[in-house]
Each structure stands twice: as C-alpha cells, then as structure tokens.
C-alpha cells in the first residue's frame, strides 16, 4: 500500500516538475507576491488605503513582529486560486486526455491513486508557499527602509514565529483551494470547466454575494480559506474559518473519492 502510494507520488511528480508548469506556476506566484508586497509599501501614505478592500495598514502595524508577513498573508487568496487552477487542470486532464485509463491499468487501486496524486500536489503547494513567502518577505524588507518602516522586530524570535505561523496558514489555505480544484476536476472531468467554475465562484460569485449580504462571508468556502491564510479577520475568527474550511474540503473530498472509485472510466 505505502510502496504503491510512493510510486504514484513520484509518477505524478514527473508531471508536476515539467518546466513549463513548475516555472509558470512559480512565476505567477512570484508576480503576485511582488505586486501585493510592493503595493502595500508604496501606497502606505495613500488615503485610499494600502491593504485589501481599502484597509489602511500603518507604519506602526508594519513595525510589529507580524509586519514581515502582512503582504504574504494577504496573497493567500491569490496563491489559492493558482493552486486551484493547477490542481484542477492536473486532475481533469487525466479524463480529457484519456490518460486515466493508462494510470488505472498500471495502478488499479483508485483510492491509492488519489492519495498519491494528492500527496504529490501537497509538495507542489509547499513550493508555491515557500516561493510566495520568500519573495513577499524579501520585497517587503527591501521596500521597508525606503518607507521608514522599522523592521527591528521582524526577524526576532516573535517575528520568526509569525513567519512560521503565517506560512503554515497560507499553506493550509493553498492546499484547501487546491483540493477544491482537484474535486472540481474529478466532478467535471474537463480542465476548462473545472478551472472556470472554480475561479468564477471564488472571484466573482462569492464577492457579489458578500457585497449584497456581508454576513454570508462567514459561511462561504473561499472566504473561509482566505481567512485561514490571513490568520483570522475582525469579522471571522481563525478557528471558525479553519473548522468550516475543514468541513467543506472534507465533504468535497468524500464526494470526489466516492465518484472516483465507483465511476466507470469510459472515455
């Protein structure tokens, strides 16, 4: 069982490590990390705010031990969308290319196949998170001096704990988004459909629903995962977001696993 999962992991990794996918994904992570971190510091004196939805993040807030991860925690949502696209495409393409039948002939244990694929994607998500963390903290540090932000507390023991905590939260969030993408891939069996429906829901529908009735944001899945990345917000507690995200992802995984194991592979 374990040996099979290890084999599946490395087989999947061969696909994930191809330069166009790996470098393309990490390039997108780097782009958003640089963009959000730069805006946070370059707009620090802007009356329109420098944070998400016009929130003002002051020099004093940025000087706290958590200051180095302000930008990083707020890109969790964007990294999550990237993970959703990658996981959805990697899963759904097995159906659209017809390669799933090859995989199942070589590895008929369908749950094992799913576990191995997920394990490989988890490692991919670690790379995404690490690259996002290094670049956003690096850019923040580089820009802090020019904007009179004190970084003395950023890398002391409290600062390092904040970095580790934020990295873990962003990773959990990225993984949650990724698993939702994987589930959509299994359900819809088409990369384009699963990516477009996932992105449409998270970027547009949740925002519209949240704008019309803000209390719904406490229950919508994308909002919960973004809150986990941010380590909690003023309106949604971290524990609430983490528990609800766990329930959403868990239920989605159960449905997808049942479908994946029971459904005929007829294409």
Partner 1 sequence: MPDLAISVSDLSKKYDSGLAVSHSNFQVPAGTICGFVGPNGAGKTTTIRMLLGLISPTGGTGEILGQSITSPDKYLSQVGAMIEGPAFYPALSGAENLRVLATLGGFPIERVDQLLEQVGLAERGKSKYKTYSLGMKQRLGIAAALLPDPKLLILDEPTNGLDPEGIQEIRQLLRSLADKGTTVFVSSHLLSELELISEYLVMLRKGEVVFAGPMQDLFDAQQPFMLVKTENESDLAKIISLAANAGHKAHIRDGVAHIEGPAEWAGVLNKLAFEAGILLTQLSPQLPNLEETFFEMTGDQK
Q: In whole angstroms, how close is the CB of 259 to partner 1 at the nearest point?
A: 14
Nearer to partner 1, 54 or 98 (CB): 98
Nearer to partner 1, 17 or 59 (CB): 17
264: left (phi over 0), alpha (psi -120 to 50) or beta: beta
Cα atoms in the Cβ-side hemisphere of radius 13 Å centred on 71? 32
> By rule CB under 8 A, what string of x and - marks binding of each residue 190-229 to partner 1?
----------------------------------------
Instruction: Report the C-alpha gap between 85 and 184 in whole angstroms.
Output: 10
Instruction: Report the C-alpha gap between 163 and 68 in whole angstroms.
Output: 7
Instruction: Answer whether 189's CB lies under 8 Å from 95's CB.
Output: yes
Q: Is 56 in the site for partner 1 (CB under 8 A)?
A: no
Helix/strand number for the chain, H first, E second: 12, 0
> By rule CB under 8 A, what string of x and - marks binding of each residue 104-143 to partner 1?
xxxxxx----------------------------------
Instruction: Answer whether 93's CB lies under 8 Å from 99's CB.
Output: yes
Q: In whole angstroms, how close is the CB of 107 to partner 1 at the nearest point?
A: 5
Choose the binding region for partner 1 from 9-17, 59-67, 168-176, 218-226 (rule: CB under 8 A). Answer: 9-17
Nearer to partner 1, 17 or 147 (CB): 17
As a 3-state breakdown, the chain gives helix, strand, coil percent values, each rounded to 5, of 80, 0, 20
Q: Of 21, 35, 63, 115, which lies in the binding site for partner 1, with binding defined by CB under 8 A?
A: 21
Nearer to partner 1, 10 or 31 (CB): 10
Q: In whole angstroms, how close is the CB of 193 to partner 1 at the nearest point?
A: 19
Among 164, 181, 178, residue whose Cα is nearest residue 231: 164
What 8-state DSSP symbol labels residue 18? S
Q: Is 1 in the site for partner 1 (CB under 8 A)?
A: no
Q: Provide DSSP, 195-213.
A: HHHHHIIIIIIHHHHHHH-
Q: In whole angstroms, how close is the CB of 262 to partner 1 at the nearest point?
A: 8
Which two tokens mark 161?
């704990």
Nearer to partner 1, 15 or 147 (CB): 15
Residue numbers of the site for partner 1 (CB under 8 A)? Answer: 3, 7-8, 10-11, 14-15, 18, 20-21, 93, 97-99, 101-109, 264-266
């Amino acid at each position: 069982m374990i040996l099979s999962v290890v084999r599946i992991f490395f087989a999947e990794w061969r696909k994930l490590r191809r330069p166009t996918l790996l470098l393309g994904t990490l390039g997108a992570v780097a782009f958003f990390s640089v963009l959000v971190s730069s805006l946070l510091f370059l707009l620090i004196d802007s009356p329109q705010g420098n944070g998400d939805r016009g929130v003002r993040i002051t020099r004093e807030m940025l000087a706290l031990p958590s200051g180095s991860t302000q930008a990083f925690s707020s890109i969790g949502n964007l990294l999550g969308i990237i993970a959703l696209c990658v996981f959805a495409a990697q899963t759904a393409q097995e159906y659209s290319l017809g390669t799933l039948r090859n995989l199942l002939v070589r590895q008929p244990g369908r749950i094992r196949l799913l576990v191995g694929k997920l394990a490989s994607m988890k490692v991919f998500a670690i790379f995404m998170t690490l690259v996002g963390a290094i670049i956003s903290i690096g850019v923040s540090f580089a820009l802090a001096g020019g904007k009179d932000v004190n970084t003395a507390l950023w890398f002391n023991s409290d600062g390092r704990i904040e970095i580790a905590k934020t990295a873990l939260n962003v990773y959990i969030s990225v993984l949650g988004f990724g698993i939702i993408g994987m589930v959509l891939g299994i359900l819809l069996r088409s990369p384009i459909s699963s990516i477009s429906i996932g992105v449409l829901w998270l970027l547009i529908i949740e925002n519209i629903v949240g704008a019309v009735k803000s209390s719904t944001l406490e229950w919508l899945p994308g909002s919960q995962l973004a809150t986990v990345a941010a380590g909690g917000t003023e309106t949604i507690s971290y524990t609430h977001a983490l528990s609800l995200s766990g329930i959403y992802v868990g239920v989605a995984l159960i449905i997808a696993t049942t479908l994946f194991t029971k459904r005929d592979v007829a294409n």
